[in-house]
A and B are shown apart, each in its own frame.
Chain A
């Protein structure tokens, strides 16, 4: 095999991984904070993509300007869904799974009915057209941009959780909701904002991915399956684990698909993950101190 193809694939895998990372970080934060397995998460990605498309098509806004708007808009959608539906179902994990699944279907159908099921395309920002060349190695500027934004968002998330008062409140609520409320923390609000933040991350991921894959109402599904795998492999509650796992899964799926084909690649990836879970059930980097 040509080594340039290998390295190009490696880099493509890295940018896919970084998108997965944002989706998975959102899922993990929502699950780690309120124990909710959010099956509507893929639809937040999809909505982020459509929002970017709509801003570009109807308002002529480029992606760079759209990113913060998408962040706020999808965050608001997440917040509303948490307030309207999810918050009524805490302590009923099975019901939240079903409810978020239902929300996902509704969102998909709403987009299909309102906008149609045909693929939509979004232009990447012009300043990221072109490639960087290192000998035989070709790195697309846009993929480099994706990598930068994702890592930036991961850093922001880390700082939010560890360095801000909101982060302290969230970590308090995760460990002991009752005592947190006894110290003035409004747990419901913390939950709502956390859910919104996780949704907003998914929205950003959706916006970033639009120039690379076609935007359709079902686009979130595949991405979110990989993101779930990332969370399982990485270990819930560990940003480092999530980052490592999205790297591994993004790369493994890029490599395996290159060596075999897409389907065989995915099957092999799943087998590898099942083996890993068999031997490390709590993920790559489990929480070491019990709550």
Chain B
């Protein structure tokens, strides 16, 4: 579904990702781990085409992404939930969700029922402004917005960062549901190692813009955590 071959990514002249190689099977979940500043967000932004320049190859569903504009990648079915959520503040919840549908290939503008099944609160708050929601509600809205486009693959950047604990669990459950029951392919950037181990099929640990360890979810042991993920 997603393949990176000798992938480099740059901001201006500085190289942020170096020589990444990985594969993501359809329907699987990949956890991307690593300390702050190692390039996890940049990896997702590179997949969306939001960095200044890339080198090497990136394929989505067998198609090269290299020269595609960001909006074209979205139309190909990549849903992006960025770090910090980036809900549109002066849009209502309903408008934020509608915005998600702009990336649908079929041109439909109805919000899929599953969005409200997973996040009933979005129906209740549909006329509130995105900027007025709590952090946890904004995260639900950001995920809902990505689901509104019926994505083939979902990129989630630290979806539980800075969110009240009761909602963290809810969001983790939704992520697992999406992956297991809906068969959605997911790339998850995560700080919570326990959740990554429980939920993901494969993981990769990054350091200084490179992949230092990768493997199957259940192999994500304490040794790796201590070596690459603690401070």
Q: Using a CB–CB distance below 8 Å, which chain A residues touch chain B?
A: 165, 168-169, 171-172, 175-176, 178-187, 289-291
Q: Is the CB of B74 within 8 A of A184?
A: yes
CA distance A172 to B96 in the complex (A): 9
Q: Is the CB of A184 within 8 A of B90?
A: no
Q: Is the CB of A291 within 8 A of B90?
A: yes
Q: A168-B95, A168-B98, A289-B129 are in contact. Are A183 and B149 (CB under 8 A)?
A: yes
CA distance A291 to B50 in the complex (A): 21
Q: A175-B90, A289-B131, A291-B89 are in contact. Are A181 and B71 (CB under 8 A)?
A: yes
- Is B8 among interface residues, defined by CB-CB distance under 8 A? no
Q: A181-B74, A182-B80, A183-B145 are in contact. Are A169 and B102 (CB under 8 A)?
A: yes
Q: Is the CB of A171 within 8 A of B91?
A: yes
Q: Is the CB of B102 within 8 A of A184?
A: yes
Q: Is the CB of B86 within 8 A of A289?
A: no
**What are the interface flags for B45-89 relative to A under an 8 Å C-beta threshold, 1 for contact and 0 otherwise?**
000101000000000000000000111001100001010001011
Q: Which of B89, B99, B129, B131 is close to A183, meaning CB atoms less than 8 Å apart?
A: B99
**What are the interface flags for B143-171 relative to A under an 8 Å C-beta threshold, 1 for contact and 0 otherwise?**
00100010000000000000000000000
The 10 closest A-B pairs by CB, nearest first: A184-B103, A181-B70, A184-B74, A184-B102, A182-B80, A179-B86, A183-B103, A181-B71, A175-B88, A186-B71
Q: Using a CB–CB distance below 8 Å, which chain B residues touch chain A?
A: 48, 50, 69-71, 74-75, 80, 82, 86, 88-91, 95, 98-100, 102-104, 109, 129, 131, 145, 149
Q: Is the CB of A176 within 8 A of B88?
A: yes
Provide the residues of chain B in CB contact with A176, threshold 8 Å.
Answer: 86, 88
Which residue from chain B places its CB closest to the CB of A189 in the assembled complex?
B71
Q: Which of A172, A186, A290 is close to B88, meaning CB atoms less than 8 Å apart?
A: A172
Q: Which of A165, A168, A171, A184 is close to B71, meaning CB atoms less than 8 Å apart?
A: A184
Q: Is the CB of A178 within 8 A of B131?
A: no
Q: Is the CB of B69 within 8 A of A289?
A: no
CA distance A290 to B145 in the complex (A): 21
Interface of A is mostly: helix
CA distance A86 to B69 in the complex (A): 20
Provide the residues of chain B in CB contact with A180, threshold 8 Å.
Answer: 99
Q: Is the CB of A289 within 8 A of B71?
A: no
Provide the residues of chain B in CB contact with A165, threshold 8 Å.
Answer: 102, 109
Q: Is the CB of A182 within 8 A of B88?
A: no
Provide the residues of chain B in CB contact with A172, threshold 8 Å.
Answer: 88, 91, 99
Which residue from chain B places its CB closest to the CB of A184 in the assembled complex?
B103
Q: Is the CB of B88 within 8 A of A179?
A: yes
Provide the residues of chain A in CB contact with B48, threshold 8 Å.
Answer: 182
Q: Is the CB of B102 within 8 A of A289?
A: no
Provide the residues of chain B in CB contact with A187, threshold 8 Å.
Answer: 71
Q: Is the CB of A182 within 8 A of B102?
A: no
Q: Is the CB of A183 within 8 A of B74?
A: yes
B87 CB, nearest partner CB in chain A, Å: 9
Provide the residues of chain B in CB contact with A291, threshold 8 Å.
Answer: 89-90
CA distance A88 to B174 in the complex (A): 43
CA distance A180 to B86 in the complex (A): 10
B95 CB, nearest partner CB in chain A, Å: 6
Provide the residues of chain A in CB contact with B109, threshold 8 Å.
Answer: 165
Most B Cβ at <10 Å: residue of A179, A183, A289, A291? A183
Most B Cβ at <10 Å: residue of A165, A181, A182, A187? A182
Q: Is the CB of B149 within 8 A of A175?
A: no
Q: Which of B50, B89, B95, B98 is close to A178, meaning CB atoms less than 8 Å apart?
A: B50
Provide the residues of chain B in CB contact with A184, threshold 8 Å.
Answer: 71, 74-75, 102-104, 149
Between-chain CB contacts (< 8 Å), 30 pairs: A165-B109, A168-B98, A175-B89, A175-B91, A176-B86, A176-B88, A178-B86, A179-B82, A180-B99, A181-B69, A181-B70, A181-B71, A181-B74, A182-B48, A182-B70, A182-B71, A182-B103, A183-B99, A183-B145, A184-B75, A184-B149, A185-B71, A185-B102, A186-B69, A186-B71, A289-B89, A289-B90, A289-B129, A289-B131, A291-B89
Provide the residues of chain B in CB contact with A182, threshold 8 Å.
Answer: 48, 50, 70-71, 74, 80, 82, 103
CA distance A291 to B89 in the complex (A): 6
Provide the residues of chain A in CB contact with B86, threshold 8 Å.
Answer: 176, 178-179
